[in-house]
Chains A and B, each alone.
Chain A
């Protein structure tokens, strides 16, 4: 009996160990690029949502009229040439030859107009541009006009907007879907075709090379230039666990981790066959947002005291912790973007608890507890509230730190109730630089009270300055207005910038040609797999 059981055990073990021999060859085809994206792709409509993962998916599938290069300059992409009337009110664009949707139909002016209208119905900057447009006119299949009610300085900036919502061009029949509803089909004219039949949310998304795509002749630069595809197929494999991501790239099962966990950067650096690359340009900015409706932060002096109490270094060291991947920046417009400025009024980004305590005393702070929301499940920002609590308490604030998951934070921050009745005083988040590089796209400057962004600041001067900015025709004028808005943001303490960081990717060493861009988009054109 003993012998028989030993034989059974041996047979089972042999069966297990011999499975690799039965398995098909695991070597992937030479031109399949496998990437672990930063999040699970669930929504496929880049106009309906502002989620970065959906925007990144859209960059695979769709094309844009204009695109932003690595220096932040807007360059033509689908557009061949364009002209502006002498009075600055009529913009005429001509599409380049050979643009074709994945269903085989030619891209026409009608498609462009329908796409722009849908985008403008959802996007903040698109909405501002739309207020200038009195007429969208399709001159012929390849030419269209935007007729404005007055000259506008943001036409190209808006059309070449690199981050959510990006004005991607879709077939008119799909773009006819109201912006408040999701599109049902993914048909673009971009360099990759989405394989709807292989899409499994929570598992993988597959894209194949669009062999009919005609790239521009210019060298690729950021999102601009020629979108030349050098791989046959791209697979996004959603792997939730960072340790499994690490193991998968080490074993060569994936070629790239879009956002490597900070804790693993040092290990990945010394892993054979793997390198760490930083494609994120100006990176991202951490910030803390005040609720302007309730005490104590309905008092501007107390908000300013809190700003003075905060020191960026502690936030960056605690949350990021990898030297070289973070930087101090006191500007509300991220350092490294066109409107960044050192003129930040009293805000230095260096913690000064003594001065903050003095300001707090002068402002008459009565010890009202500050309700601070902490998303425990969002590792990228979960440590920020802990640092803020310590720094604010050092200045004399009383802090009530409330822990919850991110879904609860986003629900809670939308509540206008008093902090002790389910509302809040402070929450934290991070923005990609491309999203807050312009005053027109920065959510925190949407200070229209009840209709504004969470925190509901009511400061009409921002809208006046933004209107001037939209009309400004020169870069110098725009920069001056942006600086005025920054000073106003500091003086009214809209929010506190907590420093900048870069998000590295982990890439197998046989992958080359990845392009740096400010939007944190893993661009898959120009990439080679040797």
Chain B
């Protein structure tokens, strides 16, 4: 187990190095010049050259990469060209909204999808199953921004129960408590959860329905266990591994995939930070955020693998 952990952690390093090289090169090969963006409309080539020099963009590509990598190894992701702030500080400022959005969404999605998927599998072909299938198709096919605008129109504009936009911090200065935080996130959570409820519920349904055909289920029923116990202790427990896998994938996708939701609800998270950075060619910020996402993906995958040990005692590393 310890050897497995160590091996997996060591395997992270080449992955991150590859990500670092690819992101660095892609950004440098993309059209666009941060110095030209910073210089603004009323500038000349002389201004742009001066700014490029200040930003260190006139150095050879290899030297630029070496400096950046050296700083990263020391825990320094560099300075934003545009905001003149450390990238780590910018990420720290923006990570709370994104994590709040992603974790809340996944909790809501799992909380709804697993029971619904289990019940649909239990009563396969029944009205709940058919309803869930219809919902899954809708959840997958309706774009996030459409769901968001419909929810805003109904709950924020017409009923005026919830706010149209904005984020209320949970920690530190400006916090107005848990209720205010949740109040601003209800609509974004529901918006994003639609897709993940559809995804997780379908996987749960498939996994549980497969488990329900196994011999041990017939044995459990023959022993006189209640249907609830059969479903929860035997069918769902045996379907847990694929469900954990899809939840893991969902979390990983969510962290990087909240851009549209953050934009529609004006949530100042990592998604909008990345969009601004891309539009302004703010290389250090893009590199920092992509590196962070990569680390997050790798560790979520590791957590999912470790969860298998708990969910299925037959699995050994």
Asked if A19 meets B268 with Cβ closer than 8 Å, knowing A1-B119, A180-B54, A201-B83, the reply is no
Residue B91 at the chain A interface, CB threshold 8 Å: no
Report yes or no: A12 in contact with B112, Cβ–Cβ below 8 A.
yes
B179's partner among A2, A22, A237, A244 (CB-CB below 8 A) is A22
The one of B32, B42, B84 in contact with A443, judged by C-beta atoms closer than 8 angstroms, is B42
B19 within 8 A of A: no
- B263 engages A241 (CB within 8 Å): yes
**B183 part of interface (Cβ distance < 8 Å):** yes
- B218 is an interface residue with CB less than 8 A from chain A: no
Interface residues in A134-186 by Cβ distance below 8 A to B read: 164, 180, 182
Tally A residues with Cβ within 8 Å of B. 65
Q: Which residue of chain B is the closest to A181 with respect to CB atoms?
A: B54
Q: Is B227 an interface residue (CB 8 A)?
A: yes
Contacts of A180 in B (CB 8 A): 50, 54
B66 within 8 A of A: no
On whether the beta carbons of A202 and B276 are closer than 8 Å, the reply is yes
In angstroms, Cα B183 to Cα A22, docked, is 8
Residue of B nearest to A182 (CB): B84
CB pair B94 A202 closer than 8 Å? yes
Q: Which residues from chain A contact B39 at a C-beta distance below 8 Å?
A: 410
A203 touches which of B37, B176, B268 (Cβ 8 Å): B268
Whether, in the assembled complex, B164 has its beta carbon less than 8 Å from a beta carbon of chain A, the answer is: yes
User: Interface code A354-369, partner B: CB below 8 Å = 1, 0 otherwise?
Assistant: 0000000000000000
Across the interface, which residues of B come within 8 angstroms of A22, CB to CB?
179, 182-183
Which of A213-221, A260-268, A399-407 is the contact stretch? A399-407
Judge if A51 is at the interface, Cβ distance under 8 Å: yes
A251 to B166, CA, bound (A): 13
Q: How far is the CA of A180 from the CA of B183 in the complex (A)?
A: 44
Known interface pairs A180-B54, A406-B279; A200-B93 also in contact (CB < 8 Å): yes
A5 touches B164 (CB 8 A): no
The winner among A19, A180, A410, A451 for most chain B CB atoms within 10 A is: A410
Write the nearest CB–CB distance from A18 to chain B, whole angstroms: 10
Q: Which residue of A lies closest to B34 (CB)?
A: A407
Q: Are B180 and A407 in contact (CB under 8 A)?
A: no
Tell me the B276-317 residues at the A interface (CB within 8 Å). Answer: 276, 279-281
Give the complex CA separation of A237 and B167 in angstroms: 11
Contact B165 A407 (CB under 8 A): no
Beta-carbon contact of A241 and B162 below 8 Å = no
- Min Cβ gap A370→B in Å is 19
A446 to B46 alpha-carbon distance, docked (Å): 13
B273 within 8 A of A: yes
Nearest A residue (CB) for B43: A50
Let me know if B186 is at the binding interface, CB within 8 A.
yes
Cβ of A407 and Cβ of B32 under 8 Å apart?
Answer: yes
Residue pair B115, A5 in contact (C-beta under 8 Å): yes
B183 touches A405 (CB 8 A): no
Docked complex Cα distance between A8 and B112 (Å) = 9
Which residues does chain B contribute within 8 Å of A408, judged by CB atoms? 31-32
Asked if A253 and B164 sit within 8 Å, CB to CB, the answer is: yes
Segment of B70-78, B153-161, B208-216 engaged in the interface with chain A: B153-161
Name the distance in Å between B144's Cβ and chain A's nearest Cβ. 12
Query: How many A-B contacts are there with CB distance less than 8 Å?
Result: 162
Query: Which of B165, B179, B182, B231 contacts A239, CB < 8 Å?
Result: B165
CB distance from B35 to the nearest CB of A (A): 8
Contacts of A248 in B (CB 8 A): 164-165, 266
Residues of A close to B33: CB separation below 8 A:
407, 410-411, 414
Are B166 and A450 in contact, with the CB atoms below 8 A?
A: no
Nearest residue (CB) in B for A452 is: B44
**CB-CB contacts below 8 Å: A311-338 with B:** none
**Chain B contact surface mostly:** helix
Contact A377 B279 (CB under 8 A): yes
Question: Are B163 and A411 within 8 A (Cβ)?
Answer: no
Q: Fill in one digit per residue for B159-197: 1 if any A CB lies within 8 Å of its CB, else 0.
A: 011111111000001101101101100100010000000
Residue of B36, B153, B161, B280 ringed by the most chain A CB atoms within 10 A = B36
Q: Establish whether residues B111 and A12, one from each chain, have CB atoms under 8 Å apart when the complex forms.
A: yes
Which one of A182, A238, A412, A443 contacts B31 once the chains associate, using CB atoms below 8 Å?
A412
Contact B164 A247 (CB under 8 A): yes
Cβ-defined partner of A17 (8 Å) among B122, B161, B176:
B161
Establish whether residues A451 and B152, one from each chain, have CB atoms under 8 Å apart when the complex forms: no
Against A, the Cβ 8 Å flags (1 = close, 0 = not) of B240-251 are 000000000000
Residues from chain A with a CB closer than 8 A to the CB of B90 are: 201
Residues of A within 8 A of B65 (CB): none
Q: Is the CB of A24 within 8 A of B177?
A: yes
Residues of B within 8 Å of A20, CB to CB, are 161-162, 183
| List of B residues within 8 angstroms of A16 by Cβ | 186, 190
Is A383 an interface position by the 8 A CB rule? no
Contacts of B224 in A (CB 8 A): none
Complex contacts, B273 vs chain A, CB 8 Å: 202
How far does the alpha carbon of A180 sit from the alpha carbon of B164 in the complex, in Å? 41
Q: Which residues of A contact B275 (CB under 8 A)?
A: 240
Question: Given the known A-B contacts A182-B84, A244-B265, are A251 and B111 also in contact in the complex, defined by CB atoms under 8 Å?
Answer: no
Indicate if the CB atoms of A251 and B164 lie closer than 8 Å: yes
Q: Is B272 positioned at the interface, with any CB of A under 8 Å from its CB? A: yes
Is the CB–CB distance between A407 and B111 below 8 Å? no
Q: Is B23 an interface position by the 8 A CB rule?
A: no
Say whether B180 contacts A43, CB under 8 Å: no
A202 and B268 in contact (CB under 8 A), knowing A248-B165, A416-B45?
yes
Using CB atoms, name the residue of chain A closest to B30: A408
Q: Is A431 an interface residue, CB under 8 A from the partner?
A: yes
CA of A198 to CA of B116, assembled, Å: 43
Given A1-B227, A202-B94, A240-B272, are A42 and B83 neighbors across the interface (CB < 8 Å)? yes
**Residues of chain B lying within 8 A (CB to CB) of residue A203:** 167, 268
Within 8 A of A (CB), among B46-70: 46, 48, 50, 54
Nearest-neighbour CB distance to chain B for A361, whole angstroms, equals 34
A26 interfacial by beta-carbon distance below 8 Å: yes
The yes or no answer to B95 lying at the interface (CB within 8 A) is: no
Q: Add 18 more A-B contacts to A26-B163, A243-B149, A414-B33 (CB < 8 A).
A: A1-B119, A1-B122, A19-B179, A23-B182, A23-B183, A42-B276, A49-B40, A50-B43, A201-B85, A240-B266, A241-B263, A241-B266, A243-B264, A250-B164, A408-B32, A411-B33, A451-B46, A454-B45
Binding site for A on B (CB under 8 A): 31-34, 36-46, 48, 50, 54, 82-85, 90, 93-94, 111-112, 115-116, 119, 122, 149, 152-153, 156-157, 160-167, 173-174, 176-177, 179-180, 182-183, 186, 190, 227-228, 231, 263-266, 268, 272-273, 275-276, 279-281
| 19 A–B contacts, CB within 8 A, in A order | A5-B115, A17-B161, A42-B82, A42-B276, A43-B82, A43-B83, A50-B41, A50-B43, A198-B174, A241-B263, A244-B165, A244-B265, A247-B157, A248-B164, A251-B157, A404-B31, A407-B34, A413-B36, A443-B42
